[in-house]
């Protein structure tokens, strides 16, 4: 199988480069195309999917991964579903259980850094001055519901410990944290949904 991932920015591509081999296994090839933000992905997605439609092999899948960013997740997911349907591609949601599909649409709730908070051990491995007790703090127990933005929260916690005093680079943080992440222990629900869908897809 070959899987094409369409993601909204380079930091997601960097994180997936580190995470996907341990999820997909050695027999699955993958490539990741990063866009220049969420709006860019959504604007280009119809034509890009239309370009795949005539020649997409039976053993290829397209995974669209986009941040929810505090939008209505149902409407955003439906927007992705409609784009695929309009070009004649079958999504996992439309296909239902045990029927073939070509496109898997998934949301990150609310953004990539929520997945990092879902694996605090990885944050601590990348940044040893961060306390492992971070995961026990009330505001971080549900990594998909961190108030005030997960990227801002991550930057704030790192800066408290002397990291990135001039501002956090999303790309650098994604690279440094994701290389320590263990997909099996991540407690972010949106990550678990993403991981489990990939595991089911490649079985």
| Residues 173, 190 within the same domain | no
| Residues 99, 153 within the same domain | no
The larger pLDDT score, comparing residue 153 to residue 98, is at 153
Residue 68: its pLDDT value, please? 82
CA distances from 180 to 15, 16, 68 (A): 10, 12, 24
In the predicted structure, residue 203 carries a pLDDT above the cut 90: no
| Residues 93, 122 within the same domain | no
For residue 49, report the phi and psi dihedrals to the nearest 5 degrees: -65, -40
Question: What is the band of 73 on the pLDDT scale with cuts at 50, 70, 90?
Answer: confident
Residue 70: its pLDDT value, please? 77
- Comparing CA positions, the residue from 170, 131, 176 lying closest to residue 154 is 170
Which own/partner contact pairs does 35-38 have at CB distance under 8 Å and 24+ positions apart? 35/6, 35/7, 35/8, 35/9, 36/9, 37/8, 37/9, 38/8, 38/9, 38/66, 38/67, 38/69
| Residues 65, 149 within the same domain | no
| Residues 16, 64 within the same domain | yes
pTM here is 0.94
Q: Could you list the residue range(s) of the whole structural domain that residue 48 is in?
A: 2-112+185-202
Task: Give how many domains the chain has, as a whole number.
Answer: 2
How many CB atoms are located within 10 Å of the residue 122 CB?
22
The larger pLDDT score, comparing residue 111 to residue 163, is at 163
Q: What is the mean pLDDT of residues 189-199?
A: 95
Residue 79: its pLDDT value, please? 96
Residue 154, classified by CB atoms within 10 Å of its CB into exposed (0-12), middle (13-18) or buried (19+), is: buried
For residue 60, report the phi and psi dihedrals to the nearest 5 degrees: -105, 145
Percent of the chain surpassing pLDDT 90: 83
Residue 196: its pLDDT value, please? 95
Q: Where are the alpha helices (DSSP H) in 27-72?
A: 38-52
The larger pLDDT score, comparing residue 146 to residue 30, is at 30
Taking a C-beta distance cutoff of 8 angstroms, is the pair 80, 94 a contact? Answer: no
Q: What is the mean pLDDT of residues 111-136?
A: 94
| Residues 58, 15 within the same domain | yes
| Residues 86, 159 within the same domain | no
| Residues 102, 121 within the same domain | no
Q: What is the mean pLDDT of residues 123-147?
A: 92
CATH of the domain at 198: 3.40.50
Taking a C-beta distance cutoff of 8 angstroms, is the pair 107, 72 a contact? Answer: no
């Amino acid at each position: 199988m070959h899987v094409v991932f369409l993601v909204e920015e380079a930091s997601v591509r960097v994180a997936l480069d580190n995470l996907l081999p341990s999820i997909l296994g050695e027999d699955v090839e993958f490539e990741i195309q990063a866009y220049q933000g969420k709006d860019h992905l959504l604007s280009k997605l119809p034509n890009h999917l239309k370009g795949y439609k005539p020649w997409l092999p039976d053993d290829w899948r397209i995974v669209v991964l986009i941040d929810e960013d505090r939008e209505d997740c149902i409407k955003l997911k439906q927007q992705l579903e409609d784009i695929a349907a309009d070009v004649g591609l079958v999504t996992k949601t439309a296909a239902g259980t045990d029927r073939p599909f070509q496109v898997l649409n998934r949301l990150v709730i609310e953004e990539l850094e929520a997945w990092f908070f879902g694996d605090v051990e990885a944050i601590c491995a990348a940044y040893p001055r961060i306390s492992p007790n971070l995961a026990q703090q009330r505001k971080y127990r549900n990594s998909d519901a961190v108030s005030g933005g997960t990227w801002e929260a991550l930057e704030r916690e790192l800066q408290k410990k002397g990291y990135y005093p001039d501002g956090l680079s999303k790309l650098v943080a994604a690279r440094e944290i994701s290389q320590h992440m263990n997909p099996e222990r991540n407690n972010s629900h949106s990550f678990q949904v993403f991981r489990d869908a990939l595991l089911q897809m490649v079985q």
